[in-house]
Amino acid sequence: MLPEQRQRRRIVVAITGATGVQIGIQTLLALRKLNVETHLIISKWGAETIKYETDYTATTIKALADFSYNSHDLGAPISSGSYKIDGMIVAPCSVKTLAAINAGICDDLITRAADVCLKERRRLVLSVRETPLNEIHLRNMLDVTRAGAIIAPPVVGFYTHPASLEDAIQQMVGRVLDLFDLDSNDFTRWHGLKDNI
């Protein structure tokens, strides 16, 4: 068998049951615009949150990805380290998912794909969405960071003077994509203090 030939970058996107599913949706749209091959997993509660927070359905969001998988499909290609990907973004990442990834509990495809990223030393970005954070959350974030993940919570950059929620989300998504050396060109970057006097 010949080695796999691949031109496009390949990123797994997972949407879990935390508020802020629009971040995951906008991540998919930005990756599509950048011609990145996307592999999507939506958890059961991610699908419920999509219905509650947006006008989308899980089915319409799956159509934005190149490939989508049932969250219980542990036989999917992305469950194996031999399947080459460039990394994974969990946005939003619930604290339940964070805890499972940190504990190495691979009982669904999201946690298994994340575990594969860690063991294969591939980029894993967790956009943890919870406030306030308790000690358990903080310990899990510290430990999973020590294991190689990057915690990138959805934090608004007010220096961009966002005029809308969409502007704020674009900035959050753009910063996450920066971690993969992908430039969405959809947000204002910091260029130093300006003299407004």
Residue ranges of the binding site for dimethylallyl phosphate: 159, 175
Q: In angstroms, how far is CA 168 from the centroid of its own chain?
A: 16
Residue ranges for the binding site for FMN?
Answer: 17-19, 43, 94-97, 129
Residue ranges for the binding site?
Answer: 17-19, 43, 94-97, 129, 159, 175
Sheet of 87-93: strands edge to edge?
67-69, 37-42, 10-15, 87-93, 123-128, 150-151
The full DSSP string for 170-196 is HHHHHHHHHTTT-----SPPP------
From first CA to last CA, the distance across the chain in angstroms is 67
